[in-house]
Amino acid sequence: MKLIRITALAAAAIAAAPALAQEAVAEVAAAPAARTPLETAAIALAAAATMFFSVFGAGAAIGKVGAAALGAAAERPEILSKSILFVALAEGLCVLGFVIAIMLVQKIV
């Protein structure tokens, strides 16, 4: 009986999805409100701060983790590939910050 209720709820949600999507498209199609220069400057400042903190944090992390990884690899060369993974995770932080900054800049245009 419980499975029938879950299936019925899932079917209802799937059936309602096109109607909800049409409402969402209608809202997106409406003309966006004009931004004030202060709002535009705030978005630009947010994009700059995002890039600054993500690059600064990633650089600090890569510096510390990279030095530790190479120090560990000097003692045991077989762990070099495992330690490079942590450097790549720090670089991922920088890439994520870049993507968020690009998304913020697209809101200005």
Is this prediction's pTM over 0.85?
no
| Calpha distance 22→31 (Å, rounded) | 16
Q: What is the DSSP letter of 33?
A: P
User: How confident is the chain (109 residues) per 10-residue block, as mean pLDDT?
Assistant: 56 55 56 80 93 93 92 90 88 92 89
List of residues 6+ apart from 46 with CB closer than 8 A: 104
Which amino acid makes up residue 93? L
Question: So what's the pLDDT on residue 51?
Answer: 93
Question: So what's the pLDDT on residue 19?
Answer: 55
Judge if 20 and 42 occupy the same domain: no
Query: Domain range spanning residue 75?
Result: 35-108
Judge if 12 and 53 occupy the same domain: no
Largest CA distance in the chain: 63
| Calpha distance 49→70 (Å, rounded) | 31
Closest by alpha carbon to 98, among 39, 58, 40, 38? 58
Question: So what's the pLDDT on residue 80?
Answer: 87
Question: So what's the pLDDT on residue 13?
Answer: 52
Judge if 1 and 46 occupy the same domain: no
